[in-house]
Amino acid sequence: MRYGRATGRADAEGAAAGRRNRPASVDGGDDALTRAFVAQHRASLLGFDWDDAREALAKVREETAEAAALLAGAPDGAARAKLEEELGDLLFAVVNVARLAGADPGVALRGATRKFEERFREVRRLAGKRGLPMPGTPLASLDRLWDEAKERLDANDPRSRSGGTPPPEP
């Protein structure tokens, strides 16, 4: 399965483009996100890459549709293995979008996880304050608490007002 296409750029031009698309420091180590990022970066240096993040995003949509089709079917052992493969392709494609957008996927995922954890703590706090048991409260009610938590926390977060993200951790 191809994740990009050869753009026809000369090696030197491709190398320069790869440096432009690479964050100053790829955060992580041997984790899967870093390995995917580095593999994509190396392929880019040899001219095998999308022209920009928008093209790579189309691949994310394609991989999402493939995963959705598998989720719609009966989950037997073979289907689960194929679904895992497709989810891997989807994650790989998302890392590629991040790389082409100049974002570090590890930093982005840690930020999203931190944001989820903060919001979920607020959901639990709001549920407790209102006497709503967890588990035991319908998801629709919890989703309304999530929206409330998101609004409250985002209103108090200076990054939300500026639209920016925090600088990467040292």
Asked if the structure places residue 5 within a domain, the reply is no
Do residues 65 and 125 share a domain? no
140: tokens are 């629709």
Q: What is the pLDDT of residue 156?
A: 86
The pLDDT of residue 77 is 80
Query: End of a domain among 51, 77, 102?
Result: 102
Count structural domains, the chain. 2
Tell me, yes or no, whether 88 and 115 share the same domain. no
Segment (H or E) for 98? helix 77-100
Show the low-confidence residues of the chain (pLDDT under 50). Answer: 1-21, 23-25, 161-170
Q: Check whether residue 88 and residue 130 sit in a common domain.
A: no
Joined together, the tokens standing for residue 142 give 């919890």
Q: Which domain holds residue 84?
A: 11-102
The answer on 131 and 81 residing in a single domain is: no
Residue 61 lies inside a defined structural domain of this protein: yes
Of the CA atoms within 13 Å of residue 166, those in its CB half-sphere come to 12
pLDDT at 75: 72
Torsion of CA 165, 35, 66, 100, to 10 degrees: 50
- With 0.85 as the threshold, say if the pTM is over it: no
